[in-house]
Structure 1
């Protein structure tokens, strides 16, 4: 037996899937709420009951895509024992994975009038908390080994990581070598003791 919450969740998922299909087909800027309702096979009224406005729908799609990206990043970070290597290579992977999600980049560019880097700079507490979960174990291991700068909390380290990732996304002219240098010069120097 399904509870009312389950059907509500199923309906939201159906709408989100329909929205993504529409965005991929027409582009986010040309997709209307009517297009999404039609694609989902529901009325506009039902759509607005689940998402009272377009920004709420967009935010949930972005949250889903960021969650999926985070899973890939966590898997990649698990490969590293050394925080310095993770700050460079894990950061490079994170930035390249974000860039590879064309739909997320297009949504951010249209809905947030900017680039993924600018969007990332406007991060919220939930995003920061998820990043602390991702990077925290590596930071703690490095802290236990006496390598993390004194007084640097995991939250502050993640703020630095987010900021430098945003800069790397904004500097799409750097390439891998340039980004690695950026991560070494800014992240490694900011997080680890000399």
Structure 2
């Protein structure tokens, strides 16, 4: 079980990594932010990489909880939208600078993030699309391919390079993408 210090460290690191980036925050910065010694930090964590790992694991846990709570038997399209909104809320608090630094400095962690998306979120998205097709809510398309297209589109637009290049926030980009995917672009 996490100690109070461990939770405080993770919360402060989460804030700092998302405002300044993983690369720009030192253990000394984190200790100063918390008003504790670096020695106390190192009693709880082996270093910054372990802290970043736990921040991402906490996000995975919250997303998995949202997936586990989802019920796609009734209104699968609506429930998928709700799930994607919950996932979006979790991911959108992670700023592009933090994701960019993870991608560059912690490639194993970045790989785990992309694997989590590819496996867990793909499976639930495909299941939802299949159920919606059974109920006649959406057209009969290849459910796996439709799920892959949606998730690849999401992955493409939340890439740190995309967000920083076009200067949009994660939430704004995901809102627009989901609106286009679920409602189209035509006004009819």
Report the TM-score, using the length of structure 1 for normalisation.
0.53
Distance 2:141 2:88 in 1: 27
Task: Give the corresponding residue for 1:11.
Answer: 5
Distance 1:58 1:180 in 2: 28
Tell me, which stretches of 5 or more residues in structure 1 are unaligned? 1-5, 185-194
State how 1:16-165 maps to structure 2 within 5 Å: 16-23=10-17, 26-65=20-59, 67-68=61-62, 81-83=75-77, 93=85, 97=89, 100-101=92-93, 103-113=94-104, 123-124=114-115, 126-128=116-118, 130-131=120-121, 134-135=124-125, 138-139=128-129, 141-142=131-132, 144-145=134-135, 159-165=148-154
56-65 or 23-32, which deviates more = 23-32
Aligned CA RMSD, in angstroms, stands at 4.9
Deviations 1:23-61 (A, max 9, x none): 466554332112223334444234234322322211222
Aligned length: 168
Distance 2:112 2:181 in 1: 17
Give the deviation of 1:145 after TM superposition.
4.2
Deviations 1:120-150 (A, max 9, x none): 89612x4555425753662452365487657
Tell me, which stretches of 5 or more residues in structure 2 are unaligned? 167-171, 183-188
Change over 3 Å in CA distance of 1:120–1:157 after alignment to 2: farther
Report the TM-score, using the length of structure 2 for normalisation.
0.54
Change over 3 Å in CA distance of 1:49–1:33 after alignment to 2: same
Name the SS of the counterpart of 2:46 in structure 1.
coil
